[in-house]
């Protein structure tokens, strides 16, 4: 497996998020290392998606910091946030493609908004990104003409349009059949290894977690924070926390020995 760099690209420091009297996250701290695939796991309602929104600047913390390249995006001005947004790509659970736009128009949107590239160059980039996700030739299709898996791949192409430093995925495999889910996992690994793009993935799919993750952080609803951190292999085989063991020792598929190498 390609080696990841040890230096962090994102640093979350004591992030706390409250909605009224309800505390969702309390003093959450961790780092995302350059080039790694970090997967955030935990039971429903533990704050996984909230944490993802914090990391991309869509949710403000009640207290704490989120540093990207040394800049605290929780305290950043709009101009700084625009610069930050050009360095990240996001794929939400629903793919969030605009139904009134063709696939080409969806992928071209961030290029049109954030660059001064001419139409011919944008068309070339759109075709390149679609080729990367095995959707070459689908430029003029509408989202309604695509299957669920194809929509996810189109969403990935749009997330990669600006060649971001970090890609964020919220429940990448949600709603997909097992074969399509495996194909998406393979695409994520291939993209990470080919481009060295850092990735942060929210997931509850055990097979996917064990296959794609370099490192995992596990959130807990009751403690409102991180209760475990490490490779899937270490958490599955070495953790003594019953909550962690319960999550990772669910019935694994017979081909789970295809996990990525965890040797650093």
Residue 100 covered by a domain = yes
In the structure, what pLDDT confidence band is assigned to residue 253 with cuts at 50, 70 and 90?
A: very low
Q: Above 70 in pLDDT, residue 258?
A: no
| CATH number of the domain within which 133 lies | 3.40.50.300
Task: Tell me what pLDDT residue 95 has.
Answer: 75
Residue 144 covered by a domain = yes
Q: Above 60 in pLDDT, residue 257?
A: no
Whether the model pTM is above 0.85: yes
Distance of CA 234 to the CA centre of its chain: 21
Residue 181 covered by a domain = yes
Cα distance between residue 116 and residue 182, in whole Å: 37
Provide the token pair at 113.
């908004």
Residue 4 covered by a domain = no
In the structure, what pLDDT confidence band is assigned to residue 155 with cuts at 50, 70 and 90?
A: very high
Q: Above 60 in pLDDT, residue 261?
A: no
Ordered strands of the 198-202 beta sheet: 88-91, 166-170, 198-202, 37-41, 215-220, 225-230
Q: Above 70 in pLDDT, residue 260?
A: no
Q: What is the mean pLDDT of residues 5-15?
A: 91
Q: How many domains does the chain have?
A: 1
Residue 8 covered by a domain = no
Q: What is the mean pLDDT of the chain?
A: 90
Cα distance between residue 195 and residue 159, in whole Å: 14
Q: Above 70 in pLDDT, residue 220?
A: yes
**C-alpha neighbours within 13 Å on the C-beta side of residue 181:** 18
Find, among 109, 49, 64, the residue nearest to 85 by Cα.
109
What pLDDT digit, counting tens, does each position of 193-219 carry?
Answer: 999 999 999 998 999 999 999 999 999
Q: Are strands 88-91 and 166-170 parallel, antiparallel or unpaired?
A: parallel
Residue 204 covered by a domain = yes
Cα distance between residue 129 and residue 216, in whole Å: 28
Task: Tell me what pLDDT residue 133 has.
Answer: 93
Residue 192 covered by a domain = yes
What pLDDT digit, counting tens, does each position of 47-91 carry?
Answer: 999 999 999 999 999 999 999 988 999 999 988 988 898 999 999
Cα distance between residue 10 and residue 77, in whole Å: 18
In the structure, what pLDDT confidence band is assigned to residue 5 with cuts at 50, 70 and 90?
A: low
Task: Tell me what pLDDT residue 173 has.
Answer: 81
Residue 68 covered by a domain = no
| Under 8 Å between Cβ of 12 and 54 | yes
Length of the chain, in residues: 264
Domain residue limits at 167: 32-58+78-258
**Strand, coil or helix: what is 218?**
strand
Residue showing tokens 């490490």: 230
Task: Tell me what pLDDT residue 264 has.
Answer: 31
Q: Among positive and negative, which fits the CA dihedral 40, 222, 59, 16?
A: negative
């Amino acid at each position: 497996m390609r080696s990841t760099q040890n230096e962090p690209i994102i640093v979350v420091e004591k992030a706390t998020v409250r909605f009224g009297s309800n505390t969702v996250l309390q003093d959450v701290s961790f780092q995302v290392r350059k080039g790694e695939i970090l997967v955030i796991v935990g039971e429903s309602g533990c704050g996984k998606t909230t944490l993802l929104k914090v990391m991309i600047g869509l949710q403000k913390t009640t207290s704490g910091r989120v540093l990207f390249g040394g800049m605290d995006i929780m305290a950043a001005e709009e101009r700084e946030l625009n610069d930050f947004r050009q360095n990240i790509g996001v794929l939400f659970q629903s793919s969030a493609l605009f139904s009134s736009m063709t696939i080409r128009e969806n992928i071209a949107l961030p290029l049109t908004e954030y660059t001064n590239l001419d139409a011919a160059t944008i068309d070339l980039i759109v075709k390149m990104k679609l080729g990367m996700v095995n959707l070459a030739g689908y430029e003029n299709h509408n989202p309604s003409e695509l299957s669920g898996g194809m929509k996810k791949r189109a969403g990935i192409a749009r997330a990669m349009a600006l060649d971001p430093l970090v890609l964020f995925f919220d429940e990448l495999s949600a709603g997909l059949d097992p074969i399509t889910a495996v194909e998406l996992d393979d695409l994520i690994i291939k993209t990470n290894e080919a481009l060295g793009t850092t990735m942060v993935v929210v997931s509850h799919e055990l097979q996917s977690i064990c296959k794609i993750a370099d490192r995992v952080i596990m959130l807990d609803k009751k403690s409102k924070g991180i209760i475990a951190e490490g490779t899937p292999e270490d958490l599955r085989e070495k953790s003594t926390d019953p909550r962690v063991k319960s999550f990772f020792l669910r019935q694994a598929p017979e081909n789970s020995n295809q996990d990525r190498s965890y040797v650093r």
